[in-house]
Structure 1
Amino acid sequence: MNVKSIVYDDIVNLENCESEPIHVPGSIQPHGILLAVDTNLILKFCSQNLETHNLKASEVLEKPLKSLFSEADFKTITELFDQEDYTRGGNQHIRWNDTFYSVLVHKSGDYHLIELEKATEADTELTFLNSLSFEFARHTGEARNLKELCQRVSEHIKEITGYDRVMIYKFDQDYNGEVFAEAKEEKLESFLGLHYPHTDIPPQARALYMTNLVRMISDVHYKPVPVLTLIKNSSHRSLDMSMATLRSVSPIHVSYLQNMGVGATLTISLIHEEKLWGLVACHHYSPKHLSYYGRVSSLLQGQLLASQIRVQETAVNYEIKKELEKHLEGVQQLLRTDTSLNISSQHLLELCNADGFICQSENQLIKTGDLAGGKEAERIFDLLKQKETDYLCTRSVSQDLGIETETISGILFFKIDVNTYAMWLRKEFNQEIEWAGNPNKAIEKDKNGLSPRKSFKSWKEIIKGQSRPWTEAEKDIAKNCVYLLQKHFSYLNSQNIQKKQEDLLNQLQQANEELENINWISAHDLKEPLRKIRIFSSILTEDSRYQLGERTLKMIDRINNSASRMQRLLDDLMELNRTKHVKPELENVALSALISEIIEHYEWEENKKIRVAIDLPVVKGNAFLLTQLFTNLIDNSIKFAKENEPLIIDITWSEKGKNKVVISLKDNGQGFENKYAENMFKVFHRLNDSGSKEGSGVGLAICKKVVELHGGEISAQGIENKGATFNVTLLLPEN
């Protein structure tokens, strides 16, 4: 069978580097040997430099791994198969054909990758590792801030690894990098404070740094060693080498390092809150191989540093917030003393270091600071309100909102409620950035196409159109201030609502007093004229009956009847008004006796019958008002009886829960449509508007008021031409 190389051999330059499959190069660095076996421990891939052991790939591929090693070495290797990668477990050492190797093993898809790195007996010693954590603890205790801690860690890593330069490299939100701390040989030029564009580390490289936390290049001028296999149709994608320490490096990155004059590198990922916060970048200006334990020691330092990032940032934010909270307290004090919120306070600006502040509620507009009064602020404010944005934080309105401005660059915007908004403003801050080479010329064109820049000479740029970034402490304080404003506006709104309610109550009281006056007029001033009308109409009828014509007598009778009806209406209105103001004393009332007494006042003829259940209950009520209630209901049934059919009224009862009863009064009269059931208890509402039936339209309204005074309910059901049923719910005595 033919041995096949799986090297990725497409031409790579900066035009296609972002799509370069750097995790599957199909080759390795020459400082070690790579083997890959399947689940049956059959060798499927090997690096070409296996020939250094006088072994040909064609002779060992598709053979059992056991055939390559002694029984002891085979056992040593296979015992490592359960670990995910060497950074999460230990390594072992074997002596293979008189060469001493460190053995690193990890799982990759269907294969176990075995990496053999040449080592010395000294590489197996752990004596210096025991003090690393104690050393870091000392650095943590002595460092006053994150930058100082990073500086101490970079110095310590340089000490334990021996690299010429060790840098702590910190990313911004766009993955542009800054040399945040640096330890170096005295003869070397300092890179501290230099910035590097995000294009220096493409996205797929950053993704690999998130999984493979340690990356070493022993010699940037190395010649890649192909990985070989006998598998047909295999390619570079057949073997994922993401976690392999020997994995070959992108030729673009190698070219980049060569342009910098670097000979060897070690890179350690700094992961913070599941993001790539930065890197520990170690440079050596000649070839350098760091042992397994040297790399693990550096990784330990990096992980300890990453664990302190949140602690250090929290401590810094805490100190900043302490200062900012003084201004928040100032705002809070103003809110206590100025309930109108007509405040123009420097505290509103300084609590988050802003240059302007706008707050608008339904009835108020507050502006303070130099930037708040201009047309630009008004335009941005209106735009965000129209977009119904709840929250926006930006340092560049032109970039994030597409608004070109002359004075405003940063905004911090909050929607407090439906009609209330707050916004802090910042002016432009011209930031000077020192780049390692012109970032606009990070790519150069040569005979091979596009390649990394060759010059890393300091190049300064002034960044315009941006404000100073909003810190987490400033954003937190602003949110707290918004919460205070929200509470204050809620208080003001409640005060306004209370005032409106008080005004409405005063209006209602005034209206009630006017109605009381009308009732008084009805009760006294109108009654006397009506009485005289009735007297004089009666005199006319009696004294002049024979002198007056029949038509005139009928008109006088109509006058008398109308006056009598008006009299009843006034009496009922007085009774309704009196009932509304009654606070009855409730006692035990025997309904059987009460209704029997009511019935005795009626003349029951053959065409009118009333049937009452003999065991009506005792209820909690006022006898006088209950008499009025049932009298009105019986009167109503009699009034709406059918002319050609005897009236029958049935009074029954039933229990409702543990402490209530329902008294039902049912008749077979004219009835009504149920759609009128609710309206019939309103004052002056009559189902028969022709005036053929006597009544004021107030009787059922009185019934409802009486029932409500007893804490009960009343309802009606009807069927037209078949009758009506009135249900009265009353309370039972407590015992």
Structure 2
Amino acid sequence: MLNRPLLSVLPVAEWPLPPGDRLPCALLLITADGLVHSANTTAHEWFGAQSSAMAPLVHFLGVSEYDERAGELDAFVEGMRQSGQMRELRLALQRHTGERFSALLMGMPLVDPSGLYLGFDTMVLDLSRWQDREALVPYTHAEDLRARLESRTRSHAMAMRDIDAFTQILSHDLRGPLRQARGYLRLMREHTQRSHDVLQAEYTQSALVAIDGVNGMIDALLEFARLSRVPLELRFVPLAPLVQGVLAHLSRHAHAAMVDWRIDGRLPGVRGDPMLLSQAFSHLLDNALKFTRGVERPVIEVGWRDGADGKRVLHVHDNGVGFDRRASDKLFMLFQRQHHSLEFEGLGTGLALTRRIVERHGGGIRCESAPGQGCRVSFTLPPDRVGGTA
């Protein structure tokens, strides 16, 4: 095709398919008005159902007329019409199977002996079989967005598979040995009760407590994994009754009756999952209740304001023991405790789980505190955009 003289070509009507109809490249004959007159088998296999005879070239190649590549193809064709010279064009194309590839179009104008322009023939080469596709033809903006979306979808699916495998290990593989160890320790405890070995009984009980702690950590990890993939049941959620429900649940703690609860009666409505939001407020208020336990006049406040970006900014503020703000970067990590377990119970999971819930709702969370000056946790939630009032 590349060595064909311009003036010694066959008329379009007599143009035969070239030898080797199944060459690893698409061969097309294009008429003067831009229609595909004929094509080899490879071309039809690449471009599928839209690759019918007498279809416009852009349609044959699967390019929308609104795509920026359509303009490149028009300029490619017009350039051969005007110059009468061979031209090349590199662009990204897509097979009918959805596979994208880097293509090189090499076109040669066809003229009859009198010099009349008849059209051109072109070879479409798949360059991605030879070199890196991105180094050859850059993605269009739409292709780039689609490629990013597909990559993130694949990454998300892989992450979900990893989470499933992780939860399987936690739920079964790790708990099995712990159950066996706990069973043997119970037998040991019964033995020490009969032998009245006080020191051995103390060691046995400490080991049982440690196993309970590991089981608690496994439960927390499973809950953390669940919060990463549970579907959100989004709806209008009035926060005032939700917070009151959480407080009713916390009233079982004796210390709750001593707290000066300052709950803003005008708490807004938000768009969210009521079960998960209830869980988030439960973690925050339970922490506030726990860390104000040694305060003479404990005060816990729940309030809100409108954020600059239209989101609701909620806060839970207490006057408890607080913590060193230099450790705030680890505060929202699992199992990061700011106080010794002998002072305050718990595994250090509440804030980590709360952050996951807030982030699943598209919000952010931060904490301000200082030793002996209480703690203020602020977080954002999306406003209700469907119904309900603030």
For Structure 1 versus Structure 2, the TM-score category normalised by the shorter chain is: 0.5 to 0.7
1:325 to 2:83 alignment: yes
Superposed displacement of residue 341, structure 1: 5.3
1:517 to 2:274 alignment: no
- The share of aligned pairs that are identical, in percent, is 23
Rounded Cα–Cα distance in structure 2 between residues aligned with 1:334 and 1:729: 45
1:604 to 2:361 alignment: no
Q: Per-residue CA shift, 1:535-555, capped at 9, x if unaligned?
A: 553454356325242222221
Q: Per-residue CA shift, 1:676-698, capped at 9, x if unaligned?
A: 44542234444458886543343
Unpaired runs of 5+ residues, structure 1, are: 1-320, 348-362, 367-485
1:635 to 286, 295, 298: 286
Q: Tell me if the contact between 2:163 and 2:225 (Cα under 8 Å) persists in the aligned partners.
A: no
Q: Which amino acid in the other structure matches residue 89 of structure 2?
A: Q
1:706 to 2:354 alignment: no
Counterpart for residue 214 of structure 2: 566
| CA gap 1:530/1:604 in 2 versus in 1, 3 angstroms | same
Q: Which amino acid in the other structure matches residue 615 of structure 1?
A: G
Q: Which amino acid in the other structure matches residue 234 of structure 2?
A: L
Q: Tell me if the contact between 1:519 and 1:574 (Cα under 8 Å) persists in the aligned partners.
A: yes
Superposed displacement of residue 600, structure 1: 3.0
Rounded Cα–Cα distance in structure 2 between residues aligned with 1:493 and 1:664: 41
Q: Per-residue CA shift, 1:689-729, capped at 9, x if unaligned?
A: 88865433432222122223334332211123311101233
Rounded Cα–Cα distance in structure 1 between residues aligned with 2:240 and 2:93: 65
Unpaired runs of 5+ residues, structure 2, are: 1-78, 95-100, 110-127
Rounded Cα–Cα distance in structure 2 between residues aligned with 1:333 and 1:655: 52
| CA gap 1:491/1:584 in 2 versus in 1, 3 angstroms | closer
1:584 to 2:232 alignment: yes
Superposed displacement of residue 597, structure 1: 2.8
Q: Per-residue CA shift, 1:109-132, capped at 9, x if unaligned?
A: xxxxxxxxxxxxxxxxxxxxxxxx
2:195 aligned counterpart, secondary structure? coil
Q: Tell me if the contact between 2:192 and 2:200 (Cα under 8 Å) persists in the aligned partners.
A: no
Q: Tell me if the contact between 2:298 and 2:319 (Cα under 8 Å) persists in the aligned partners.
A: yes
| CA gap 1:631/1:606 in 2 versus in 1, 3 angstroms | closer
Q: Tell me if the contact between 1:714 and 1:726 (Cα under 8 Å) persists in the aligned partners.
A: yes
Counterpart for residue 339 of structure 1: 102
Counterpart for residue 197 of structure 2: 549
Q: Tell me if the contact between 1:619 and 1:731 (Cα under 8 Å) persists in the aligned partners.
A: no
1:651 aligned counterpart, secondary structure? strand
Rounded Cα–Cα distance in structure 1 between residues aligned with 2:288 and 2:369: 12
Q: Tell me if the contact between 1:704 and 1:714 (Cα under 8 Å) persists in the aligned partners.
A: yes
Counterpart for residue 19 of structure 2: none
Counterpart for residue 59 of structure 1: none
2:163 aligned counterpart, secondary structure? helix
| CA gap 1:698/1:341 in 2 versus in 1, 3 angstroms | farther
Q: Tell me if the contact between 1:588 and 1:618 (Cα under 8 Å) persists in the aligned partners.
A: no
1:615 to 2:373 alignment: no
| CA gap 1:589/1:543 in 2 versus in 1, 3 angstroms | farther
Superposed displacement of residue 332, structure 1: 2.6
Q: Per-residue CA shift, 1:99-155, capped at 9, x if unaligned?
A: xxxxxxxxxxxxxxxxxxxxxxxxxxxxxxxxxxxxxxxxxxxxxxxxxxxxxxxxx
1:680 to 325, 328, 331: 331
Q: Tell me if the contact between 1:583 and 1:709 (Cα under 8 Å) persists in the aligned partners.
A: no
Q: Tell me if the contact between 1:681 and 1:700 (Cα under 8 Å) persists in the aligned partners.
A: yes
| CA gap 1:683/1:494 in 2 versus in 1, 3 angstroms | farther
Deviates more, 1:490-499 or 1:722-731: 490-499
Rounded Cα–Cα distance in structure 1 between residues aligned with 2:148 and 2:227: 30
Q: Tell me if the contact between 1:537 and 1:556 (Cα under 8 Å) persists in the aligned partners.
A: yes
2:347 to 667, 673, 696: 696
Rounded Cα–Cα distance in structure 1 between residues aligned with 2:269 and 2:286: 22
Q: Which amino acid in the other structure matches residue 244 of structure 2?
A: S
Rounded Cα–Cα distance in structure 2 between residues aligned with 1:667 and 1:531: 39
1:654 to 2:290 alignment: no
Q: Which amino acid in the other structure matches residue 209 of structure 2?
A: N
Equivalent positions of 1:355-366 (< 5 A) are none
| CA gap 1:506/1:646 in 2 versus in 1, 3 angstroms | same
Rounded Cα–Cα distance in structure 2 between residues aligned with 1:346 and 1:543: 95
Q: Which amino acid in the other structure matches residue 339 of structure 1?
A: S
1:624 to 275, 281, 303: 275
| CA gap 1:551/1:655 in 2 versus in 1, 3 angstroms | same
Q: Which amino acid in the other structure matches residue 589 of structure 1?
A: V
RMSD across aligned C-alpha pairs, in angstroms?
A: 4.5
Q: Which amino acid in the other structure matches residue 332 of structure 1?
A: L
1:724 to 2:372 alignment: no
Rounded Cα–Cα distance in structure 1 between residues aligned with 2:152 and 2:276: 32
Q: Per-residue CA shift, 1:337-357, capped at 9, x if unaligned?
A: 9936598x999xxxxxxxxxx
Rounded Cα–Cα distance in structure 2 between residues aligned with 1:704 and 1:575: 13
Instruction: Report the structure, 1 or 2, having the larger helix content.
Output: 2
Rounded Cα–Cα distance in structure 2 between residues aligned with 1:493 and 1:732: 32
Count of residue correspondences: 278
Q: Per-residue CA shift, 1:545-571, capped at 9, x if unaligned?
A: 252422222211221111111121111
Rounded Cα–Cα distance in structure 2 between residues aligned with 1:491 and 1:506: 19
1:522 aligned counterpart, secondary structure? helix
Rounded Cα–Cα distance in structure 2 between residues aligned with 1:503 and 1:530: 39
| CA gap 1:322/1:705 in 2 versus in 1, 3 angstroms | closer
Q: Tell me if the contact between 1:607 and 1:647 (Cα under 8 Å) persists in the aligned partners.
A: no
Bigger relative CO (Cα 8 Å, ≥ 6 apart): 2
Under a length normalisation based on structure 2, what TM-score does the superposition of the two structures give?
Answer: 0.56
